[in-house]
Structure 1
Amino acid sequence: MRSASFKFSTLLALVSCLAVAACVTINVYFPAAAAEKAADKIIDDIWGGSGQPPANDNDKRGAVAPDRAKDVLLAAAHSVLNLLVPAAQAAQADLNVSTPAIRQLTQSMEARHAQLKKYYDSGAIGLTRDGLVEVRDQNLVPLPERNSVRKLVADENADRANLYREIANANGHPEWEMDIRTTFAERWASKAAPGWYFQDQNGAWKKK
């Protein structure tokens, strides 16, 4: 009788630990592939590019229980983990980037891009490593246009910062804001047109 009670208590403790582990996975796991897919879609909308096929990430983190089929406790624990973890992963398969605030920011950036493009093309402005835009060489901007360019860049950066924050908040994870910003920074640079400038990880300017 004592043995059965011990096994039951052990099962409850093990299942509790697995449930906690699954919850931790839900809270801390940043879906990098989904973020890249979302970033590519938004960048294509803003820049009007044909886009590139989204990265195909087969992120399979299903837990594998040791091969002890005859051990009732481990088999039960494995079943619980299989129910919890895939459900958490499925909930994070895609990021929500369709809120009214995100759509408004995207449309604002799309309209502004028509004005910014010639400055990307000339090398006057470039893409920074932190997902923003910077005046790289003001000498490439005609003097009468410099104030206008500075305002365009400031407005663009305000929209970008708000976009990263809105995406994190829309998906219930404000703590993802920096990860989303980093993902966008990489995708802006990757999708930049030939001749445009971007910063590498050390902050040095590179020409695409």
Structure 2
Amino acid sequence: MKGRMMKWLITGVCGLLAACAIITVNVYFPEKAAKEAYKSLDDMLLKNPAEKVPGEKQPGLEQGQPEVKPQSRLFGPQPLFSMVTEAQAAESEADTLAVELASMPEVTKAYAEMSQRLPRLTELFGSGAIGLSNQGLVSVRDKAKLAAGDEGMIAAENQSRKVVVGSMAKATLKLTKQKETPEALGQVMGKSAATFAENRREAAKPGWWIQLQNGRWVQK
């Protein structure tokens, strides 16, 4: 009887250890490639309407959705379908990630909407009304400096940023041929957000409030 119970106990412990092993498997995240891909996306999709060159067309910004797919500086001034063809043979993970993300309608839509908000957000960052969190989101620091409608705009901005971060997480799993499970997405989502935030901190202007990875707020 005792021998049988011992066998059951050993079997149960082995099963538990096996389950834990599955849960704790680390998912590969190409941090450097993701960082460069984010930079490329910002360069080709994040446009400030206030800085628009006279005569230059920026389709979709007025309506909130791009009518024409963007062009990547990584491959020169070529249509997106040509970019996709070249990306299939590209050795660079960053190039492939940038093309993959630029081909997602939800990502181009998010960037078009972020471009529309950019002038006002720049003003609010400059005044100290808002800061950049360590997840790359916009955080209110001085509500008294906000105008009517600003809080709703900030919420919409954060939602757009979450779309970009979530899409990067999915794209990295696809690029690295890893199965898209809730556990895998959960692991790469945090890394995707941290990399997005790092890029945003580097792009922040002097005087803007930014939150470091340890949670401390500082002025750049």
Give 3-state SS (helix, strand or coil) of 1:103's partner.
Answer: helix
Further displaced range: 158-167 or 171-180: 171-180
Give 3-state SS (helix, strand or coil) of 1:206's partner.
Answer: strand
Structure 2 equivalent of residue 105 of structure 1: 110
8 Å CA contact 1:43–1:188 kept in 2: the answer is: no
Q: Deviations over 1:55-100 (max 9, x none)?
A: xxxxxxxxxxxxxxxxxxxxxxxxxxxxxxxxxx947453122122
Residues 182 and 119 of structure 1, relative CA distance in 2, 3 Å threshold: same
Q: 1:114 aligns with which of 88, 101, 119?
A: 119
Q: Deviations over 1:2-36 (max 9, x none)?
A: xxxxxxxxxxxxxxxxxxxxxxxxx9321111111
8 Å CA contact 2:106–2:163 kept in 1: the answer is: no
Structure 2 equivalent of residue 34 of structure 1: 33
Task: Supply the distance in 1 between the matched residues of 2:132 and 2:212 (Cα, whole angstroms).
Answer: 10
Normalised to the residue count of structure 1, the TM-score between the two structures is: 0.60
Q: Tell me, which stretches of 5 or more residues in structure 1 are unaligned? A: 1-26, 50-88
Shift of 1:170: 3.6
Give 3-state SS (helix, strand or coil) of 2:139's partner.
Answer: strand
Q: Tell me, which stretches of 5 or more residues in structure 2 are unaligned? A: 1-25, 52-89
Output aligned runs, 1:4-83, within 5 Å.
28-44=27-43, 45-46=45-46
Q: Is 2:155 the counterpart of 1:154?
A: yes
% of aligned pairs identical? Answer: 34
8 Å CA contact 1:39–1:187 kept in 2: the answer is: yes
Paired amino acid for 1:135: V
Q: 1:187 aligns with which of 157, 174, 199?
A: 199
Task: Supply the distance in 2 between the matched residues of 1:187 and 1:130 (Cα, whole angstroms).
Answer: 11
Give 3-state SS (helix, strand or coil) of 2:101's partner.
Answer: coil
Runs of 4+ in 1 over 4 A off after TM superposition: none
Give 3-state SS (helix, strand or coil) of 2:149's partner.
Answer: helix
Normalised to the residue count of structure 2, the TM-score between the two structures is: 0.57
Q: Is 2:136 the counterpart of 1:137?
A: no
Structure 1 equivalent of residue 211 of structure 2: 199
Give 3-state SS (helix, strand or coil) of 1:152's partner.
Answer: helix
Task: Supply the distance in 2 between the matched residues of 1:129 and 1:190 (Cα, whole angstroms).
Answer: 12
CA RMSD of aligned residues (A): 2.6
Bigger Rg over Cα: 1
Give 3-state SS (helix, strand or coil) of 1:167's partner.
Answer: helix
Q: Deviations over 1:112-163 (max 9, x none)?
A: 112211101111001001111011112333xxx1x41111110011111111
Task: Supply the distance in 1 between the matched residues of 2:47 and 2:205 (Cα, whole angstroms).
Answer: 10
